[in-house]
């Protein structure tokens, strides 16, 4: 019986792509670099913002220094604008409320930097009492390292077989596998279904209700 459900954020709970794209394009433009269509960002996001900037910068300009310059422009802009266009995916609020009512412990583990992760989750899901809302923090390895999953499991006091990890990308499928927990891929996020299939998750959810059916079967 599952007791703890851990969700990825970007591409799983919230469609954040337009705000991430706008903030990155703002920073790129300010430094004189070319920008990208919003759709291209689906493949840039997933390994934290430094990796996002590395992927968005033109080849030959991806130095640590440039990444940090883009970051210093992105963060204040994104802190102001991270909820302009971002919205929960269909059925997510209902799924979280139903799981909460049924007594599941709920948590978020994101590679988005911690401050923005906390802000977005509290803003969009104020009625959900998450056990933990963890974004990327200094000196903690990013997903697909399983450390963040272990941290949440310890707080919850549960065993691996009582945990489900849910996400929309190969990073998430690897995170669940690395942690040794049941893993669910969701099709409504940033990456194609084929990317999820390559990791053989226990379920590929087409819609939020599929997760409920899987947990209750
Ligand atoms: O910000 C990122 O790179 C990805 O964030 P996520 O882990 O919530 O998908």
> What would the pLDDT profile of 142-193 be if each residue is shown by its tens digit?
999 999 999 999 999 999 999 999 999 999 999 999 999 999 999 999 999 9
Q: Going by C-beta distance under 8 Å and a sequence separation of 6 or more, which residues neighbour residue 102?
A: 216
163 lines ligand 1 (CB under 6 A): no
Residue 217: CB atoms within 10 Å: 5
The structural domains of the chain, with segments of one domain joined by +, span 4-15+86-216, 17-81
112 lines ligand 1 (CB under 6 A): yes
CA separation for the pair 189, 176 (Å, rounded): 17
ipTM score here? 0.95
Complete edge-to-edge strand list for the sheet that includes strand 182-186: 132-136, 105-113, 4-7, 163-167, 182-186, 203-205
At 77, the pLDDT band (50, 70, 90 cuts) reads: very high
Residue 10 has pLDDT above 90, yes or no: yes
Residue 212: what pLDDT? 98
At 217, the pLDDT band (50, 70, 90 cuts) reads: confident
SS3 label, residue 51? helix
pTM over the 0.95 mark: yes
CATH topology of domain 4-15+86-216: Rossmann fold (3.40.50)
Write the DSSP string, 144-156: TSTHHHHHHHHHH
Q: What are phi and psi of 15, to 5 degrees?
A: -85, 100
Asked if residues 168 and 190 have their Cβ atoms less than 8 Å apart, the reply is: yes
User: Which residue CA neighbors atom 4 of ligand 1 most closely?
Assistant: 46
Residue 21: what pLDDT? 98
**Which atom belonging to ligand 1 lies closest to the Cα atom of 48?**
3
Q: Which CATH number fits domain 17-81: 1.10.150.240, 1.20.120.1810, 1.10.10.10, 1.25.40.10?
A: 1.10.150.240
Q: Crossing angle of helices 92-101/208-216, nearest 10°?
A: 20
């Amino acid at each position: 019986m599952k007791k703890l459900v851990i969700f990825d954020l970007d591409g799983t709970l919230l469609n954040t792509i337009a705000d991430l794209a706008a903030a990155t394009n703002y920073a790129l433009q300010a430094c004189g670099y070319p920008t990208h269509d919003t759709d291209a960002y689906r493949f840039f996001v997933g390994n934290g913002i430094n990796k996002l900037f590395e992927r968005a910068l033109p080849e030959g300009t991806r130095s640590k220094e440039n990444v940090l310059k883009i970051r210093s422009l992105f963060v204040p802009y994104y802190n102001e604008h991270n909820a302009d266009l971002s919205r929960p995916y269909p059925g997510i609020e209902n799924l979280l409320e139903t799981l909460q009512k049924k007594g599941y412990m709920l948590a978020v583990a994101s590679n988005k930097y911690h401050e923005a992760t906390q802000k977005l989750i509290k803003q969009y899901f104020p009625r959900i009492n998450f056990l933990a809302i963890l974004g990327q923090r200094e000196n903690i390895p990013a997903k697909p390292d399983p450390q963040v999953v272990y941290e949440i499991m310890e707080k919850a006091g549960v065993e691996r077989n009582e945990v489900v990890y849910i996400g929309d990308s190969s990073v998430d499928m690897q995170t669940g596998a690395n942690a040794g927990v049941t893993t669910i891929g969701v099709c409504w996020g940033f990456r194609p279904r084929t990317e999820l299939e390559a990791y053989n998750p226990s379920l590929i959810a087409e819609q939020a209700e599929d997760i409920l059916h899987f947990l209750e079967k």
